[in-house]
Amino acid sequence: MKIYHNPRCSKSRETLQIIEDKGAAVEIVKYMDDALTPDELNDIIAMLGIQPMGLIRKSEKIWKEEFKDKELSNEELVLAMIEYPQLMERPIVVKGNKAVLGRPPENVNELL
């Protein structure tokens, strides 16, 4: 199991706590420090079963200032999340070929 984790995010911390409380082995990926590749992010988006726009945090300042009024392709949205990882909803938990978004944190129970 792998969690794409931002320690500054309360939902991310809560999701990680649920995983640890269940005793599951987990790899922590601090995606804010170590950028994902476009292929990695596209794989995650596919496992989530969403379009890239579904992973965008539209309340982020950078989104409002740089992207809000633009029509962006899926590829451009992925590249925006790579360049500005704070735009990604979090946390994302992956197990095998399944992924869930930890909003709410209890969603992780689908993978445990």
Segment 74-91, tens digit of pLDDT? 999 999 999 999 999 999
Count of structural domains, the chain: 1
9, 41, 77, 94: the active-site residue: 9
Please state, in angstroms and as integers, the Cα–Cα distance from residue 44 to each residue in 64, 69, 83, 88, 103, following that order.
Answer: 24, 26, 16, 11, 16
- The pLDDT > 90 percentage for the chain reads 99
Instruction: Report the pLDDT value the prediction gives residue 7, as an integer from 0 to 100.
Output: 96
CATH number, position 82:
3.40.30.10
> In this predicted structure, what is the pLDDT of residue 40?
97
| Confidence bin at 70 (pLDDT 50/70/90) | very high
Average pLDDT of every residue of the chain: 97
Confidence band, pLDDT 50/70/90 cuts, at residue 60: very high
Q: Is 32 a catalytic residue?
A: no
Specify burial of residue 66 (Cβ count, 10 A radius: 0-12, 13-18, 19+): middle
The band of 68, judged by pLDDT with boundaries at 50, 70 and 90, is very high
- pTM for this prediction: 0.94
The boundaries of the domain holding residue 52 are 2-110
Q: Looking at residue 37, what is its pLDDT?
A: 97
- What is the pLDDT, as a whole number, of residue 56? 97
